[in-house]
């Protein structure tokens, strides 16, 4: 077929903001051919989602299509193409087009589903709307679709509510909802951004398989160049409402011409980076230390002999989970969130703690901070030669310990008090600990802001006038105010755009060197951890499964979970596509499905086996390093 | 389900006991009792009270016993359904209250229905057409309603109906039916009178409910699942009723607990202004004259209704919202 399914021609979209008009999309043109996948790539604010909303006629009330045509040639309704831009978005023709002709998969499966209606109801709704079907026929079609997207028991799935499903299954339900009417075009708006990497790989595979069997075209909206390399036939790169560059995937990713795309590609952390290679953010920050920050308490000679800076020994923590209905008897089960986790954090290193959501990595970091107490286990902190158990400290000792370890949060929006100025936020730790007088604090705040590349004249502003990346830097400045030894970073860049992520990662790297900091870096993103960490610890289901120096872990991963995790990360290099067939069908994080000698089914004894050079892996008791390396069962 | 109900009902016992103790304690707080209040009133009127008769009454009413004894006597009575004796009416409390209960209930029920009937369409309109001229106009009227005390509106209505129609609006029926048993004529008289308090009491909570519904609905309207529904091709009306409106209802169902007691006590001050034969003015009078068993038992009836209302709203919420019914894994 040579006719295009969708042709977007010179489209501009304007938003009314108070009394002025902002052009969010300006002169965008691209096309989607039947059955192909077109990726629209851009960072937040590039207008990529707005374009997709315009195609479906679901723009917010304040927005309007100012110019251009959106031509959709529905093969199911022959007779030329329709200009969507000229349809009444609330009119009947637009409504008929939705779901049946064009449908959408949103980013957040939890919020894009109604919590009080069953999955079957919501999936079948569009079908009932567009086709006159008997209830039994409708139910059969819904179950057929749910089976296609991979629900093992479609009938049960149809009767369940979204909150009863896991994140991956929820997104499958959303995909079923989008495909139930067999549309010719599916818009997937960041369909995997909210998911873990292994789940992401499964959903991407599902989308590809469904596309092959149902023959629909996919318009994939994403910021992840790795996803693009694995999914797209053609790519459109957007920046600030305009198309920067477009073309076939191979052409674009191998030979980017536009400086923006080149810069974006240089900002993505990759596995094959050289040891001293730096990411190139769009704007680099050069941290500067003033005389207040530079003056650091010297580490006494011989203090390191007392042990590593932080040693975690056998941390275990379980939570009580209440299950069961409102009217039925409730059952309480204990859920082991963290199971016998031990590791050490050496002075001056960055230890990456990696795992998927729910693996217990945040629980561990909270226990290190003593924001949560463990059921058993110790957190030993080497305070300049004196080793103290963090969880046995008295109130005063704990108060002074707080100065030694500080926290950087994931979400730069909710971690700053919107009613406090930047200076108040950054200076608060100093006030709490009664450090310095008014003038000293003012100077310190100015120095801290300079350190993270913020203009000290902005000290009186409130957080809402800063971007996400700037807010994250305010958070970093606040964490550094007390001159801590350890920074605990919990997913500090996962809410940020790629180019900002590169900037923050570089800043953290520089700060670590200049201020002699030690990091515990918690993340789900292996490429990010690869870039910043010296050693990496991998967690799965509350257990530490593998600890190794960075190069060893990436060069020679031993544990099946680590391998699955590494295999699931999409690489922006089109020559290194994901082996979607090799995924363990979501069983990589099921300890009972691991091959011997790693298999854990609840009865066996297991521990970390030393493979030499600081590389340790969790296996059944009795397994030796030689067994594991040769791949033999214990 | 049965085990759950049994547990909830059992928990009510200590709750109600605690409430009874507090109620009794507060009624006892002002100095004196019903008889000393009566003696003072007599003295004020220049009459000389009969000391012997007072002493006899005091013994008869049990007012010479210690407060603790009085409390235990009252609570023991409540437990078997005996609400005590009203000093002022010289009747069992159940009779005093019961007579007015039907009227109060009728009035409040109609007023509540009116509130819903007006508030829902306006609230939905205001939310869906946010910042339209209609929204601003209704919001303006709503704020006036919110800011004007209902007894003031009652006084205004009282004045104008008298000045324009020459009819006295006080009470729920014409004075000639006051002592008469229920008849068609009396019912007709009730119907011609009752709409005024219904409108006044009903309107008083309408403005508040409009604002609440508007706010709830505005929150829900911008949720992603609304866009999902729109992207499926649902009409705006079906979309609104199926998803956001359903979600915006939860707070109103949770409110049943406070609606039930309102049904029997009504708004006391409006009741006084319009001299309605409802329970509100009676409670006020009982508290003033220290008719302690009447006041106490009446307050206990309200307390029981609050506790039952909360139970009913909990069950209704669970039936309506699967997240509550199926327990979305609460962690501790």
Segment A227-239 mean pLDDT:
93
pTM of the model: 0.81
Cα separation, A525 vs A529, whole angstroms: 6
Chain A residues inside the 8 Å CB shell of B331 = 319-322
pLDDT grade for B331, boundaries at 50, 70 and 90 = very low
> Contact A99/B236, CB-based, under 8 Å?
no
Q: Is the pLDDT of residue B209 over 90?
A: no
Can you read off the two tokens belonging to residue A597?
A: 């000698």
Residue with tokens 């050496």: A346
Q: Is the pLDDT of residue A2 over 70?
A: no
Q: Is the pLDDT of residue B113 over 60?
A: yes
> Contact B232/A126, CB-based, under 8 Å?
yes
Secondary structure of residue A562 in the 3-state scheme: helix
Q: Is the pLDDT of residue A212 over 50?
A: yes
Which residues fall within 8 angstroms of residue A26, CB to CB, at 6 or more apart?
A: A12, A241, A242
Q: Give the residue, A580 or A230, on which the prediction is more confident.
A: A230
Is this complex's ipTM strictly greater than 0.90? Answer: no
Among residues A218, A183, A221, A235, which one has the least CA distance to residue A77? A183
Which residues fall within 8 angstroms of residue A373, CB to CB, at 6 or more apart?
A: A367, A391
Q: To the nearest whole angstrom, how far is the Cα of B5 from the nearest Cα of chain A?
A: 8
Cα dihedral: A324, B225, A469, A482 (round 10): -30
Name the residue among A111, A118, A330 with its Cβ closest to that of B225. A111
Secondary structure of residue B260 in the 3-state scheme: helix
Contact A500, A284 (CB under 8 A): no
Q: To the nearest whole angstrom, how far is the Cα of B120 from the nearest Cα of chain A?
A: 21
Q: Give the residue, A298 or B76, on which the prediction is more confident.
A: B76
Quick check: bond before A597 cis, omega within 30?
yes
Would the CA dihedral through A542, A548, A552, A556 be positive or negative? negative
Segment A244-256 mean pLDDT:
91
Q: Is the pLDDT of residue B332 over 50?
A: no
Q: To the nearest whole angstrom, how far is the Cα of B138 from the nearest Cα of chain A?
A: 22
CB atoms within 10 A of CB A332: 10
Q: What pLDDT sits at residue A581?
A: 63
Segment A356-371 mean pLDDT:
89
Cα separation, A625 vs A131, whole angstroms: 62
Segment B288-311 mean pLDDT:
86
Contact A586, A199 (CB under 8 A): yes
Chain B residues inside the 8 Å CB shell of A113 = 225, 228
Can you read off the two tokens belonging to residue B136?
A: 């601003």
Contact A55, A67 (CB under 8 A): no
Q: Is the pLDDT of residue B330 over 50?
A: no
Chain B residues inside the 8 Å CB shell of A117 = 242-243
Cα separation, B184 vs B171, whole angstroms: 17
Q: Is the pLDDT of residue B47 over 60?
A: yes
Q: How many beta-carbon contacts under 8 Å exist across A and B?
A: 105
* Mean pLDDT across chain A: 88
> Contact B326/A98, CB-based, under 8 Å?
no
> Contact A113/B228, CB-based, under 8 Å?
yes
pLDDT grade for B167, boundaries at 50, 70 and 90 = low
Name the residue among B225, B232, B329 with its Cβ closest to that of A129. B232
Segment B306-312 mean pLDDT:
87
Interface of A with B (CB under 8 A): 56, 58, 90, 95-100, 103-104, 106, 108, 111-118, 122, 125-126, 129-130, 161, 163-164, 174, 177, 319-330
> Contact A112/B233, CB-based, under 8 Å?
no
pLDDT grade for B79, boundaries at 50, 70 and 90 = confident
Cα separation, A384 vs A229, whole angstroms: 49
Segment A437-454 mean pLDDT:
92
First to last CA, chain A: 57
Chain B residues inside the 8 Å CB shell of A322 = 327, 329-332
DSSP string spanning B151-195?
A: HHHHHHHHHHHHHHH-----SSS-GGGSSSPP-HHHHHHHHHHHH
Q: How far is CA A358 from the centre of its chain?
A: 13
Q: Is the pLDDT of residue B91 over 80?
A: yes
pLDDT grade for B327, boundaries at 50, 70 and 90 = low
Q: What pLDDT sits at residue B169?
A: 58
> Contact A106/B320, CB-based, under 8 Å?
no
> Contact A96/B233, CB-based, under 8 Å?
yes
Contact A346, A309 (CB under 8 A): yes
Residue with tokens 């089109």: A574
Q: Is the pLDDT of residue A634 over 50?
A: no
Contact B153, B203 (CB under 8 A): yes
pLDDT grade for A575, boundaries at 50, 70 and 90 = confident
Q: Is A280 exposed, middle or buried (0-12, 13-18, 19+ CB in 10 A)?
A: middle
Among residues A152, A166, A157, A151, which one has the least CA distance to residue A139? A157
Q: What is the pLDDT of residues A413-443, one digit of tens each?
A: 889 999 999 999 999 999 999 998 999 999 9
Which residues fall within 8 angstroms of residue B68, CB to CB, at 6 or more apart?
A: none
Q: Is the pLDDT of residue A138 over 80?
A: yes
Name the residue among A117, A174, A322 with its Cβ closest to that of B327. A322
Report which secondary-structure segment, H or E, holds A332. Answer: strand A331-345
pLDDT grade for A324, boundaries at 50, 70 and 90 = low
Secondary structure of residue A493 in the 3-state scheme: coil
Q: To the nearest whole angstrom, how far is the Cα of B129 from the nearest Cα of chain A?
A: 11
Residue among A97, A116, A171 with most chain B CBs within 10 A, to mutate: A116
Q: Is the pLDDT of residue A323 over 90?
A: no
Q: Is A401 exposed, middle or buried (0-12, 13-18, 19+ CB in 10 A)?
A: middle
Residue percentage of chain B with pLDDT more than 90? 12
Chain A residues inside the 8 Å CB shell of B3 = 329
Cα separation, A194 vs B78, whole angstroms: 58
DSSP string spanning B304-327?
A: HHHHHHHHHHHHHHHHH-HHHHTT
Contact B277, B103 (CB under 8 A): yes
DSSP string spanning A257-315?
A: -SHHHHHHHHHS--TT--TT-----SS-------HHHH--PPPPTTGGGG--SEEEEEE
Contact A284, A506 (CB under 8 A): yes
* Mean pLDDT across chain B: 82
Can you read off the two tokens belonging to residue A172?
A: 């499958």
């Amino acid at each position: 077929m040579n006719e295009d399914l969708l042709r977007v021609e010179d489209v501009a979209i304007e938003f009314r903001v108070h009394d002025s008009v902002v052009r969010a999309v300006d002169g965008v043109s691209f096309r989607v051919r039947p059955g192909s996948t077109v990726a629209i790539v851009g960072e937040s604010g590039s207008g990529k989602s707005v374009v997709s909303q315009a195609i479906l006629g679901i723009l917010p009330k304040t927005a309007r299509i100012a110019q251009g045509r959106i031509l959709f040639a529905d093969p199911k309704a022959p007779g030329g193409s329709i200009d969507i831009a000229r349809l009444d978005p609330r009119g009947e023709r637009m409504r008929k087009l939705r779901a049946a002709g064009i449908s959408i998969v949103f980013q957040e499966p939890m919020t894009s589903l109604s919590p009080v209606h069953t999955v079957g109801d919501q999936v079948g709704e569009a079908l009932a709307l567009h086709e006159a079907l008997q209830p039994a026929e409708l139910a059969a079609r819904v179950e057929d679709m749910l089976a296609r997207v991979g629900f093992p028991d479609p009938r049960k799935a149809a009767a369940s509510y979204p909150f009863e499903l896991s994140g991956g299954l929820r997104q499958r339900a959303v995909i079923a909802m989008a495909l139930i009417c067999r549309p010719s075009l599916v818009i997937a708006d960041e369909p995997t951004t909210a998911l873990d990497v292994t789940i992401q790989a499964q959903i991407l595979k599902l989308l590809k398989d469904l596309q092959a069997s149902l023959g629909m075209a996919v318009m994939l909206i994403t910021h992840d160049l790795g996803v693009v390399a694995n999914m797209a036939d053609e790519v459109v790169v957007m920046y600030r409402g305009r198309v920067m560059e477009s073309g076939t995937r191979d052409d674009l990713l191998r030979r980017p011409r536009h400086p923006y795309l080149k810069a974006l590609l240089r900002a993505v952390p990759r596995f094959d980076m050289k040891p001293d290679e730096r990411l190139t953010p769009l704007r680099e920050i050069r941290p500067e230390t003033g005389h207040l920050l530079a003056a650091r308490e010297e580490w006494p000679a011989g203090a390191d002999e007392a042990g590593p800076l932080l040693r975690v020994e056998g941390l275990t923590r379980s939570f009580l989970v209440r299950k069961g209905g409102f009217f039925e008897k409730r059952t309480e089960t204990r859920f082991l969130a963290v199971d016998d986790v031990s590791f050490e954090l050496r002075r001056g290193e960055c230890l990456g703690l990696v795992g998927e959501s729910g693996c217990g990595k945040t629980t561990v970091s909270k226990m290190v901070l003593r924001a949560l107490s463990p059921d058993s286990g110790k957190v030993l902190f080497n305070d300049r030669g004196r080793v103290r158990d963090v969880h046995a400290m008295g109130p005063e000792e704990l108060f002074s310990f707080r100065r030694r370890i500080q926290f950087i949060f994931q979400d730069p929006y909710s971690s700053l008090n919107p009613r406090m100025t930047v200076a108040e936020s950054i200076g608060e730790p100093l006030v709490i600990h009664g450090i310095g007088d008014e003038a000293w604090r003012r100077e310190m705040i100015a120095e801290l802001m300079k350190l993270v590349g913020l203009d000290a004249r902005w000290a009186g502003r409130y957080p809402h006038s800063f971007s996400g990346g700037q807010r994250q830097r305010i958070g970093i400045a606040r964490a550094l105010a007390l001159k801590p030894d350890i920074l605990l970073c919990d997913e500090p860049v996962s809410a940020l755009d790629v180019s900002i992520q590169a900037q923050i990662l570089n800043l953290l790297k520089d700060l670590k060197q200049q201020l002699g900091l030690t990091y515990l870096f918690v993340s789900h993103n292996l490429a990010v951890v690869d870039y910043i960490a010296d050693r990496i610890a991998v967690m799965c289901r509350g257990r530490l499964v593998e600890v190794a120096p960075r190069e060893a872990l990436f060069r020679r991963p031993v544990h099946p979970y680590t391998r699955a995790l590494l295999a699931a990360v999409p690489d922006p290099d089109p020559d290194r596509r994901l082996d979607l067939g090799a995924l363990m069908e979501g069983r990589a994080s099921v300890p009972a499905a691991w091959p011997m000698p790693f298999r854990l089914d609840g009865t066996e004894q297991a521990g970390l086996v030393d493979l030499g050079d600081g590389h340790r892996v969790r296996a059944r008791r009795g397994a030796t390093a030689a067994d594991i390396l040769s791949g033999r069962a214990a | 389900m049965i085990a759950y109900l049994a547990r909830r009902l059992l928990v009510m016992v200590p709750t109600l006991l605690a409430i009874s103790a507090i109620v009794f304690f507060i009624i006892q707080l002002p100095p004196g009792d019903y008889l000393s209040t009566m003696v003072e009133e007599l003295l004020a009127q220049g009459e000389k009270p009969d000391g012997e008769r007072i002493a006899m009454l005091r013994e008869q009413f049990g007012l010479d016993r210690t407060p603790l004894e009085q409390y235990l006597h009252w609570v023991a009575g409540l437990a078997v359904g005996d609400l005590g004796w009203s000093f002022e009416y010289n009747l069992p409390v159940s009779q005093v209250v019961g007579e007015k209960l039907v009227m109060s209930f009728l009035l409040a029920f109609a007023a509540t229905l009116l509130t819903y009937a007006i508030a829902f369409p306006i609230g939905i309109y205001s939310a869906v057409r946010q910042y339209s001229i209609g929204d601003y106009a209704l919001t303006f009227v709503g704020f006036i309603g919110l800011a004007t005390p209902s007894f003031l509106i009652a006084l205004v209505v009282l004045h104008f109906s008298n000045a324009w129609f020459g009819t006295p609006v006080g009470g729920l029926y014409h004075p000639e039916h006051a002592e008469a048993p229920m008849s068609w004529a009396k019912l007709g008289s009730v119907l011609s009178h009752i709409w005024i308090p219904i409108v006044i009491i009903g309107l008083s909570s309408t403005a508040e409910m409009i604002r609440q519904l508007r706010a709830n609905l505005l929150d829900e309207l911008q949720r992603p699942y609304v866009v999902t529904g729109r992207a499926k091709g649902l009409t705006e009306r079906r979309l609104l009723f199926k998803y956001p409106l359903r979600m915006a209802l939860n707070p109103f169902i949770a409110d049943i607990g406070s609606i039930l007691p309102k049904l029997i006590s009504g708004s006391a001050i409006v009741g006084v202004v319009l001299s309605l034969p409802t329970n509100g003015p009676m409670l006020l009078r009982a508290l003033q004259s220290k008719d302690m068993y009447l006041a106490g038992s009446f307050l206990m009836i309200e307390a029981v209704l609050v506790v039952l209302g909360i139970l009913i709203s909990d069950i209704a919420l669970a039936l309506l919202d699967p997240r509550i019914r199926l327990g979305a894994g609460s962690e501790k």
